[in-house]
Amino acid sequence: MNSTPVGCRVRSGILVAAVLVLPWLAGCASAPVTHRARPEAAGVVAAMRAVRPAPLDIAVHEISAGGTTEKHDELTSLVAKNITGAIAQSQSLAFQPLGTDADAGPARAELEDVQALLRVIGLNEAMPLGAATPPSQRPSRALDFQVGRIDRLADALQVDAVLFVFVRDQYSTGGRKAVMALAVLAGAAAGVAITPAMGVTSSSAALVARDGTVLWYNQLGAAGLDLRTPNAAAEWVKRLLAGLPKLPAAPPASPATPEASATVPGV
């Protein structure tokens, strides 16, 4: 990768950097679709035999009344189910397990390395002008990301390219909403404007060829969409995957439920 200061051509050490990933798009703010693609992407993808999504890199957190944030497994599974269903419906892309490599094999290790690297890329994309800066206000740059070969993962999925999807979502508990409502009322009484922090969503997607070339990339905030509902997840997938090159017809997937194959422990 040429445009980012992190060492994205080498995967060693990226897991340490990945823990610094922060949400960069507020869920309450509207964010335009800002996908980028290499000039040759459409032609390259058209010549491919098959493309499949990698297991989702997803985690959903809940914000308590005191402001602490904790991963919520049930919400993570619910949102993962909605997203995988929306991707399957809109792109005809079926999720499937990685076979014998699923738990600790080389394909799983390669998957986790690339997911961590893409998280760093997403953070690095947002940081030059500040994490909350909308993509529309960032300098336009050519897409030249390279994550290193993904042969083991591509072999496990039996594809020529892999679609990686990253999601971090937050929701406030009822107690949190009540506390923030009281804070707003108290601020209004004192003549102080208070903007409550009720949760944020950050997401990105990347289409990666077997040789590690990122052919297409997009970053998106949920823009107020509640991904716990199927309709909102479908709208979010539509925005996130806007501009994705037309993909080849997906081959039959191995029998598996979307929930079982879609979730990967989040950071």
Evaluate whether residue 99 is within a structural domain. yes
Evaluate whether residue 8 is within a structural domain. no
Evaluate whether residue 267 is within a structural domain. no
Mean pLDDT by 10 residues, the chain (267 residues): 42 33 37 80 95 93 68 88 93 74 76 94 69 56 92 92 92 47 41 46 92 94 79 92 88 50 43
Spatial distance between the Cα atoms of 126 and 131, rounded to a whole number of angstroms: 5
Predicted confidence at residue 195, as pLDDT, reads: 41
Parent domain of 182: 14-262
Predicted confidence at residue 256, as pLDDT, reads: 45
DSSP reduced 3-state for 101: helix
> Can you give the length of the chain in residues?
267
Predicted confidence at residue 173, as pLDDT, reads: 57
Q: Which residues contact 164 (CB under 8 A, 6 or more apart)?
A: 53, 54, 57, 114, 115, 118, 205, 206, 207, 208
Spatial distance between the Cα atoms of 9 and 187, rounded to a whole number of angstroms: 49
Query: What's the structural domain count of the chain?
Result: 1
Predicted confidence at residue 20, as pLDDT, reads: 29
Evaluate whether residue 176 is within a structural domain. yes
Could you tell me if 76 and 172 are in contact, meaning their C-beta atoms sit under 8 angstroms apart? no
Predicted confidence at residue 138, as pLDDT, reads: 57
Could you tell me if 208 and 162 are in contact, meaning their C-beta atoms sit under 8 angstroms apart? yes
DSSP string for residues in 37-49 = E-TTHHHHHHT-S
